[in-house]
Amino acid sequence: MITRVKLLLAITPERVTVAIWRTGRLVQRLAVPNSHEGRAACLPVLAEYHGMPVYILLDTAREDYRTELLPHAHGQARLEMVTRKLRQHYGPTSYCAAVRRARERSGRRDDRYQFAACTDPALPDGWVALIEQLRLPLAGVFLLPAVCESLVRRLPGSATNVLLLARSHAGLRSMYFRGRHFELGRLNPLPTGNPEQRAAAYAAEVANARLYLDAMQTATVDEPLVVALLDPFDEEVDAFRMLAASHPELACLHINHALVAQALKTKGADTRDTRQGPDSVFLHLLALRTPSLNLAPAAALEPIRHQRFGRSIYVSAALVAALGSAFGGYCWWRIGATEDALAILNEDRTLLHERAARQQHNVPDGTSPPVFASEVVNAATEIRKSARAPERAMTAVARALTRTPEILLHELTWKSAAPADEQGVVKIAADETVELACEVRLPPAEYRVALSSIRAFAEALSRDNDISVARLTRMPPDADPAATVSGNTSEAITGHTRFAVLVTFKRR
């Protein structure tokens, strides 16, 4: 989390620079000697910034870095192992730290750790004590090479192995970054003389640094390397040019003021003040990005933890309040809308009740109970629909009888529905049937004529427009193969010519 206001201390064995970093700028700056007097001079300045987090940058030769492989572990086991290693490497100093950089891809797949320490605890101790005395929260103690990591990450190009040469209050720093992580560093006296001499000094330092890296088994001498010269004040332009010209085998990069400004601007810093002093660039870098290698003892970090914890609780409280207020507001809005809807519904309900009451008044008097009236009318209509009279049937039969005068009607049975069979199933879709029992009035010897009269009568019935079917259901015995006939051959053939017809009428 980037705190928008930070108190920065750059501590070297000789002097201390105190700066206030506010929204990307170093707004106040005070340089004092690293002594009791210096601390006393800083006291009123620091006291003004109660509650502001303090970041300490150590620029000293009394520092140590090493990279080591440790078995892969988690949680408490890892913490104990790293703590044991720190104690083993750095003994009494409390300003040490380790960070896990990567995991090996082969073998036991150990974890690669980087260890760092300030081997001169007296250097920051006095200032840390002063900070504790003023109850300022210490955010961390960082070594200068670790701070430079963020600058190397923002350099143009894709080089991963960089040897950064930087001038600081302590001297000329040569810092080797592999994979843009700091690995090893050296501190030498600042080169002096004319640009040519300084270029020679830089070249010598590059050669020595490569030999040192090779000796420390960090990088081989012939490994591709980018040599970057940090020159925020553009003082080493000539020296850099000579260096690059005299050593064409080196890939050189001049990190001048413009490049520094570009790198810092991309992180939101105002770079107008980068010329205030040699350490202004490092202070900016420290303010912009907190390195992971924090050497501050755990106890010294308690106040900042409390402060951050408190702030996170305040943020949580604000979130709870905001969410609660938002939800409460939404609920109030819903209550308002629901009350409006309820009022409309109640109004509707009242209107409907009134309408129902008016309907009761509109019921005609003397109809008790009135709802039955329509049902009674419906029932009567249905009955009337099904009512039939035999006039049509009798007229049709009379028409057929007129055409066949030899037919004598004995019996006529009219039914208002089609006859059902034994199972009660109506097979003919009709609503009127007539059964006729008739006789042909002819002498018995002329039974053939009688039969043709019967057929003519049935045909006359069938042709009638009102009749659907006329079917002979019973024939005289001599014409009915199903009938049993008996007699004596010595006698004349006699017999009656009675028959029956079932007539089905068309639907009306």
Partner 1 sequence: MLRNIRPARIPLMVLGATAAATAVMLNAVVPRLTELGRQVSAAQADVQNLRLKTTANEEALARLHRDLPAYRMLEHSGFVAPNDRLPLRLALRDVRDIARLSSLDYRIGARRTLPAPPHSAASRLALHETPVQFKAALLHEEELLRLLVALDERLSGLYRLEECMLKRLPTSGTSSFAANLEAACRLVTFSVSTAEAGG
Ranges within 326-345 binding partner 1 (CB under 8 A): 327-328, 331-332, 334-335, 338-339, 341-342, 345
Residue 456 CB, nearest approach to partner 1 (Å):
21
Output the six-digit token pair for 212.
């040192």
Q: With CB under 8 A as the contact rule, which of the stretches 27-35, 96-104, 144-152, 354-362 interacts with partner 1? A: 354-362
Q: Which of residues 467-506 bind partner 1 (CB under 8 A)?
A: none
Please give the single-letter amino acid code of residue 233. F
Q: Which of residues 226-265 bind partner 1 (CB under 8 A)?
A: none
Exactly one of 74, 105, 108, 355 binds partner 1 (CB under 8 A); that residue is 355
CB 428 within 8 A of CB 469: yes
Residue 249 CB, nearest approach to partner 1 (Å):
52
Q: List 262's β-bridge partners, or say none.
A: none
Q: Which of residues 275-314 bind partner 1 (CB under 8 A)?
A: 302-303, 305-306, 309-311, 313-314
Q: Closer CB to partner 1, residue 269 or residue 393?
A: 393
Residue 332 CB, nearest approach to partner 1 (Å):
6
For residue 49, CA distances in Å to 127, 428, 493 come to: 15, 112, 151
Q: Closer CB to partner 1, residue 431 or residue 464?
A: 431
Taking each helix axis from N to C end, the angle separating 280-288 and 144-153, rounded to the nearest 10 degrees, works out to 70
Q: Closer CB to partner 1, residue 235 or residue 439?
A: 439
Residue 390 CB, nearest approach to partner 1 (Å):
5
CB 62 within 8 A of CB 119: yes
* H or E element that contains 287: helix 280-288
Strands 251-255 and 226-230: parallel
C-alpha angle with apex 91: 85 to 92, nearest 5 degrees? 140
Binding of residue 426 to partner 1 (CB under 8 A): no
Q: With CB under 8 A as the contact rule, which of the stretches 68-76, 200-208, 260-268, 347-355 interacts with partner 1? A: 347-355
Q: Closer CB to partner 1, residue 194 or residue 325?
A: 325
Q: Closer CB to partner 1, residue 77 or residue 380?
A: 380
Interface size with partner 1, residues (CB under 8 A) = 71
Q: Which of residues 390-419 bind partner 1 (CB under 8 A)?
A: 390-391, 394, 398, 408-417
| Three-state DSSP class for residue 6 | strand
Binding of residue 320 to partner 1 (CB under 8 A): yes
Mind giving me the DSSP string for 452-465?
Answer: HHHHHHHHHHHHST
For residue 205, CA distances in Å to 217, 234, 337 come to: 18, 20, 78
| Three-state DSSP class for residue 70 | strand
Residue 499 CB, nearest approach to partner 1 (Å):
15
Strands 172-178 and 138-143: unpaired
| Sign of the torsion angle spanned by Cα atoms 286, 287, 293, 296 | positive
Q: Closer CB to partner 1, residue 1 or residue 387?
A: 387
Q: Which of residues 361-390 bind partner 1 (CB under 8 A)?
A: 362-364, 367, 369-377, 379-380, 383-384, 386-390
Residue 55, burial from CB neighbour count under 10 angstroms (0-12, 13-18, 19+): buried
Q: CA-CA distance, 389 to 351, in Å (whole number)? A: 53
Q: Closer CB to partner 1, residue 411 or residue 421?
A: 411
Q: CA-CA distance, 118 to 63, in Å (whole number)? A: 4
Residue 107 CB, nearest approach to partner 1 (Å):
33
Q: Which of residues 130-189 bind partner 1 (CB under 8 A)?
A: none
Q: Closer CB to partner 1, residue 133 or residue 338?
A: 338
